[in-house]
Amino acid sequence: MQKKRLIWVDALKGFLMILVVIGHYPGELDFPFITYIYWFHMPAFFLLSGLFFKEIAKNESSKAIIKKRFMQLMIPYLFFLFVITAIRYSIEIATGNFDFSWYLQDLWKLVIAGRFARGPYGVFWFITTLFFTYLLFMWMTKYLSRIKQITLLVVFYLVAHLESIFTMHVIGGASDEAAQTIPMLWNIDVVLLTVVYFAIGYYAKSVLINITLPWLLSAITVAVGAIVANDLGFIDYHLSLKFLRYDHLLLDLIIPISFIVMIIGFFQRITKIMPLHWLVKLEKHSITIMYLHLFTDTIMNDFFQYEIIGFTVLGLVVPIIISMALHKFIPHGKLLLGDIRAKKPI
């Protein structure tokens, strides 16, 4: 059972990483496929992280756990931040940009990061948000009773939505521009919502680890119903964690959770028939794919013209090749990719 569980988890994460790449396609599509991807793919990462969260005892030290998570999450963050920035600045200098103020302004955005880091840094918000989500939930489960945890989560959820409503409906305008009027380091305010998805994964572990047919059919019904309702104009639902676009108190739980339960149930069943090894292998390179698929497009679109298929293939293949090279040829390459068990390159 353990082996099968790990297979479906890795296959699902590989699938979600493909959706991350597709979701960043900058072109226009006739069908609102990317809108539907955003309904669930980022909440799914937080929920899956919560699903395998292990709380620590009240008298147990948190230092080792925090160090472990820092090594897993923030070391790759800092590594890819340095690499991408070094390449960008080399190109800028080579093309004649010697404006010192431009570099200072750009570096300031990278320090604040979160929703202010755009372009090739567009995914960096996720890591800082996940890191602080983990720390917050670790603290909650260590020191608070279950009823206090849930009470605090309700408060967080309401405050997150108040911030979103203010951003989307009082400030108004494009969601990315509106969100950037709210100053915040590393998108820490988004933790108020992501910790709820994380907690659902943890609390509902007994249900999620083996989705029964009634749960799966119910989730499919709600998910398909939401798509139909959106297509017919009964709802106009959007979800963007990065840019604070979660202003529907009920649908921000119902729709993402329904889609997540649906895809978990599907992958639990399909991996019993076929292991989907190609997705499992893809997942092993997910860190590099996440950090480099946008930068790959930044470089490649100056030389090639491509649509969504080309964008997706390049966003997967190029980072995978780089990931393999990092594993094999770079000293401590695995450590730079967050593998804390690695001591030396293969």
Q: What's the whole-number average pLDDT of the chain? A: 93
Give the whole-number percent of the chain exceeding pLDDT 90. Answer: 84
- State the average pLDDT over residues 74-84: 96
Residue 159's nearest CA partner among 114, 198, 192 is 192
**242 and 190 in contact (C-beta within 8 Å)?**
yes
pTM of the full predicted structure? 0.93
Give the whole-number percent of the chain exceeding pLDDT 70. Answer: 97
Q: Is the dihedral of CA 236, 242, 247, 248 positive or negative?
A: positive
The pLDDT value given to residue 30: 74
The yes-or-no verdict on residue 1 having pLDDT over 50 is no
Residue tagged 């969100």 (tokens)? 179
- State the average pLDDT over residues 291-300: 96
**3-state SS, residue 248:** coil
Q: Which residue has the higher pLDDT, 343 or 35?
A: 35
Q: Render pLDDT for 18-65 as a digit per residue (tens, 0 to 9).
A: 999 999 999 888 778 899 999 999 999 999 999 999 988 877 788 889
Q: How far apart are CA 67 and CA 79, in angstroms?
A: 17
Q: Render pLDDT for 240-281 as a digit per residue (tens, 0 to 9).
A: 999 999 999 999 999 999 999 999 999 999 999 998 999 999
Phi-psi region of 187 (alpha: psi -120 to 50; beta: other; left: phi over 0): left
The yes-or-no verdict on residue 293 having pLDDT over 50 is yes
Residue 46's nearest CA partner among 272, 176, 204 is 204
Q: Render pLDDT for 309-319 as a digit per residue (tens, 0 to 9).
A: 999 999 999 99
The yes-or-no verdict on residue 3 having pLDDT over 70 is no
- State the average pLDDT over residues 179-200: 96
> What stretches of the chain adopt beta strand conformation (E)?
none
The domain spans of the chain are 2-336
